Chains A and B, each alone.
Chain A
Amino acid sequence: MAKILADKRIETKHGRSRPVAKRHMPWGTWALTLNAIFVYTFLYVPIIVLVLFSFNAAKVGAQWQGFTLQWYNELFADARLGDALWTSLKIAGLSTIIATTIGTLAALALEKRGWRGRKAFDTGLYLPVIIPDVVMAVSLLGFFTLAFRQFQALLGLNLAMGLWTVIISHVAFNISFVTVVVGTSLANFDRRLEEAAADLGATPWQTFWKIKFPLIGPGVLGGALLSFTLSLDDFVVTFFTRGPGVNTLTTEVYGRIKKSISPEINAISSLMLLGSTILVLTSLWMQRRRQA
């Protein structure tokens, strides 16, 4: 009897695709389904409307006046946007490489137990996640301004804000996110593998690159992807730490959005949406391939 019961339990456990709740309260399932439909509709209606109207021939207003690719053609001819996109990619690429390296090292340090200062380091790493980005942005503006003035006064060095100050700042807010993501994949890493490799005579360097890195690689890639997206997404920190003439996609689009709604901006937005969709699908596809 007990065995039958146990079997039944296991079966339900694996069959959790069939919700336990379903049998007990059908009205609850209804409410859940309705809620889900509502949320997904809410998430997608605004984006779909946006994409539809990027193909609308009407210059002003929201009346449908036929299909056109005119706004996309105008976009591709817009040199300012092209430059802004290139700047964004440079900033996101470089800051991601630096932040991923530093953040992964920090996660490896946190994995080791019992060193002095570990707990403080762990807590401190969460601060950039909790501090609102606008506070970080203005504090960096104050910092760079003062530092450059001191460099000028003491060393006669002429430094100014530019692309590089944006990159430095983006690294500062991305490190913590990378560390958190890599940390979760390290938590699943079996440290006995490392000891085994060491016992078999591998140097720490070999152990890391041959054993550990391939296993935590997906976590590192996940951290890098998050960092890249956060950097591309950022407006506030970029806005306050950029030098004159530095325009990223977000700062460029921000100015245009604030003024008005226009079919060109609908088209840029649709392309950005397409970009993020491709990014999600690619990362999902890579995950699948790894599991297969």
Chain B
Amino acid sequence: MYNARTEQRRAWLQASPALIWLGFFFLAPLVLILIYSFQGRADDGTVLWNWSLANYQKLFADGAFWRTLWLSTWIALVVTAITLVVSYPLAFFMATRSPKRRGLLVLAVMIPFWTNFLVRIYAWKVLLGNNGVVNRFLDQFDLGPLQMINNPSAVIMALIYGELPYMILPLYAALERFDWVQLEAARDLGAGRFQTFWHVLLPQTLPGITAGSILVFVPTVGTFAVSDILGGTSVNMVGNTLSLQFGSASNWAYGSAISMIFMLLLLGAILLYFKATREVNDGENPG
């Protein structure tokens, strides 16, 4: 009834709407900014068709851009590390409760997760802002006001807050599937706590760690809104630079070169990360 040929044709037929849509509205735009990145800027701010490497030369000499990229990477690494360190024990805690409690604990993570990200950023402005709750509280004791926003710490705090569920949920999914008898087996065989964790639990939950880290790192490193709202002019991340070039600075060609370098570095980092975690895993379970 199902022969291979019709099956193959049907697969292509089903894949084609996605191929066409993503070809036009995802791939083509990326190819376009690749082309734009080799063009120039006309005086009226439009793209000037003139092939050259000028944007890339300018970019490599642009100290401000590299500082921005470094700040973005650093912030994203800090946010990923902190969310991971906090979420792993939490996911462990959740996965070891009774099924009924587990459901409630997951629900309690889901609600902030589905809440609009602007609300979550704004909540921090209400708390930490110059006119915010903490400063009004300090007023009563004639302390402050403290300047708590418009610095990297505020941006990091709000990002951790916003991204936590993206780390907790994949880790929980990995730990929930874990067969806890293995822990007892390892302990019975004389493994220490740390050994049990390192050789039994960690390798099997590694896919959750990888997924969570990428889900947190990518939006963080490319953020635009959080640094715009809570960082003010003093926290300039890659997202802000990009929107500036495509916005008020209207230098699309230069902005395209920035996008290209940023994307290449990001994809490279993700591939390296995948490879590294896979090697750790292979070392743990040879064959």
Which residues from chain A sit less than 8 Å from chain B, CB to CB? 9, 12-13, 16-17, 19-21, 24-25, 28, 31-33, 35-36, 38-40, 42-44, 46-47, 49-50, 53, 60-63, 101-103, 105-106, 108-110, 112, 114-118, 121, 124-125, 127-128, 130-136, 138-143, 146, 168-169, 171-173, 175, 179, 195, 198-199, 229, 232-233, 235-236, 240, 249-250, 253-254, 257-258, 260-261, 265-266, 269, 272-273, 276-277, 279-280, 284
Q: What are 18 A-B pairs with beta-carbon distances under 8 A?
A: A13-B179, A20-B96, A20-B184, A35-B86, A49-B126, A62-B135, A115-B7, A117-B12, A134-B222, A138-B246, A142-B29, A143-B25, A195-B2, A236-B243, A269-B122, A280-B107, A284-B107, A284-B110
**Chain B positions 130-161 with a Cβ under 8 Å from a chain A Cβ:** 131-133, 135-137, 161
- By the criterion of a CB under 8 Å from any partner CB, how many residues of chain B are at the interface? 98
B222 touches A142 (CB 8 A): no
A25 touches B193 (CB 8 A): yes
B11 contacts across to A, CB distance below 8 A: 109, 112, 115, 118
Of chain B, the residue at the smallest CB distance from A127 is B26
Contacts A50-B119, A112-B11, A118-B11; A254 near B225 (Cβ below 8 A): yes
B89 contacts across to A, CB distance below 8 A: 31-32, 35-36
Of chain B, the residue at the smallest CB distance from A143 is B29
Min CB distance A60 to B, Å, is 7
**Chain B positions 19-38 with a Cβ under 8 Å from a chain A Cβ:** 19, 21-22, 25-26, 28-30, 32-33, 36
Query: Among the listed B19, B135, B137, B187, which residue makes an inter-chain contact with A24, where contact means beta carbons less than 8 Å apart?
Result: B187
Min CB distance A162 to B, Å, is 15
B111 touches A276 (CB 8 A): yes
Min CB distance B136 to A, Å, is 4
B12 touches A109 (CB 8 A): yes
Q: Is the interface of A mostly helix, strand, loop or mixed?
A: helix
Q: Mark B245-272, 1 if CB is under 8 A from A, else 0.
A: 0100000100110010011001100100
**Chain B positions 97-133 with a Cβ under 8 Å from a chain A Cβ:** 97-99, 101, 105, 107-112, 114-127, 129, 131-133
Q: A179-B18, A250-B118 are in contact. List 17 more A-B contacts (CB 8 A).
A: A36-B90, A43-B164, A46-B123, A49-B123, A63-B136, A102-B21, A106-B17, A112-B8, A114-B8, A118-B11, A121-B18, A134-B222, A135-B262, A140-B29, A143-B25, A168-B25, A253-B118
Min CB distance A51 to B, Å, is 10
Which residues from chain B sit less than 8 Å from chain A, CB to CB? 1-2, 4, 7-8, 10-15, 17-19, 21-22, 25-26, 28-30, 32-33, 36, 86-87, 89-90, 92-94, 96-99, 101, 105, 107-112, 114-127, 129, 131-133, 135-137, 161, 164, 168, 179-181, 183-184, 187, 193, 214, 218-219, 221-225, 228-229, 238-239, 242-243, 246, 252, 255-256, 259, 262-263, 266-267, 270
